[in-house]
Structure 1
Amino acid sequence: MPVLDVRAFNRVRPAFGGAVLLALAVVAGTAPPDQAAPAYRCSRSVQTIDDAGYSGPWPDDWEMTVRVCAARSGPTLRTYAEARWDGPAYQALDDPTILDGARLRVQIRQRDGAVVASQDSSGIESRMEDSNGQGGHNGTFRTPTLSHRAAPGAHADAVLLLDWHGDGRGYSSYQYGSSPVV
């Protein structure tokens, strides 16, 4: 907190000086109130996704849980998505050939379903290809927060886009449920 230098006020008449010093002390000690963080409301959905690039005898399903959260601050809707997965155990550790690409897209939709803003996050690919010391692929990824003006009744949703290595089909999309309306 800054120190208030009152030397200049020593010349103020005593009848008025005390009130000025008190007022300055109150103003100097008062900071603007912190704006409260918006209260996020979230929904969660789960899908079991097959690794389309693998057709061997071992289990290859990924259980993907995506939580979509949204909050309103005046006319602005803020949203993010967080993915958690329980993937299979592959022989190779930290295998960069599981996916050719992966993105987690978060979208803001108006009440009528029209997308007014979207943001893709590609950092999920390397996280999904990382493993623990036994080859298990479990982890989490959170998108940056997307902010956009949206009318009342708007909500957010997420789409997981995966391009499995070796399947030749390009990106497959997996739609995840929407946040509560905010």
Structure 2
Amino acid sequence: MKLNKLRISSAAAKRALSVALVGAAVAGVSAVTTSPASALSWKCNSSTRTIDDAGYSGPWGDNWDFTVKNCVARSGGYVYAKAKVSWDAPPWYSGTDLSETFDSAYFRLYLKHADGGADTVLGKKTFSIRDNLAKMNGSGNGSWTTSTAKKYVGNKSAYADGALKLNWDEDGKGLRHYSFQGSGSR
């Protein structure tokens, strides 16, 4: 008989927990823990470059101002990297699909380790960004943030670095590499 009461109590407790979770979900509260990347302490560094549209030589202004904010975080033996790319283009680019501006446009996010000579690339991820660049406002401004990359590095220090890879339409040069300042090590 006690066993039945325990089952009933256990079933009642399960129903109460289910009702509490449903109530929390309806109230907009999440019972699931946050992802590890969102709780990290990020170290970031921003740098800006003015880049000329190499495929255009007309009378209108054609310089793009890009700002890249590279960020790194560490949790145990793992490092995390992400970047935010912002741009200020002349307003006349706004509202176009940019296929007449870029044959291709990428952002490459790197995780690197500072060595005595050339830094070692521990990992990299390339993002196609031409469609993101086209999502600028009427003033020619916009921004986009990468997903977070994660790499096990043990006790090595690492930093985030990023570069634009732009292939300007009709310039005949292919992909051009534009570097930005790294985050600093963690």
Query: TM-score with structure 2 length normalisation?
Result: 0.75
Q: Is residue 105 of structure 1 aligned with residue 108 of structure 2? A: yes
Give a deviation string over 1:96-116, Cα, whole Å, max 9, x none.
Answer: 311110111110111211001
1:120 matched to which residue of 2?
126
Change (3 A) 1:145 1:34: closer
Determine helix, strand or coil for the equivalent of 1:90: helix
1:16-165 to 2 correspondences below 5 Å: 37-90=39-92, 93-95=95-97, 96-112=99-115, 113-122=119-128, 124-133=129-138, 136-150=139-153, 151-165=155-169
Would you say the 8 A contact 2:70–2:181 is kept in 1? yes
Would you say the 8 A contact 2:94–2:134 is kept in 1? no
Alignment-mate amino acid for residue 155 of structure 1: Y
Change (3 A) 1:91 1:45: closer
Distance 2:93 2:179 in 1: 29
Alignment-mate amino acid for residue 63 of structure 1: D
Q: Which runs of 5+ in 2 are unaligned?
A: 8-30
The two structures, once aligned, show a CA RMSD in angstroms of 2.6
Change (3 A) 1:40 1:54: same
Q: Which runs of 5+ in 1 are unaligned?
A: 10-30
The alignment of Structure 1 onto Structure 2 pairs a total of residues equal to: 155
Percent identity (aligned): 35
Would you say the 8 A contact 1:104–1:120 is kept in 2? yes
Change (3 A) 1:131 1:34: closer
Q: Which protein has the larger Cα radius of gyration, Structure 1 or Structure 2? A: 1
More displaced 10-residue stretch of structure 1: 113-122 or 146-155: 146-155
CA shift for structure 1 position 130: 3.8
Q: Which has the higher helix share?
A: 2
The runs of 4+ residues in structure 1 deviating greater than 4 Å are: 33-36
Query: TM-score with structure 1 length normalisation?
Result: 0.76
Alignment-mate amino acid for residue 167 of structure 2: D
Would you say the 8 A contact 1:128–1:137 is kept in 2? no
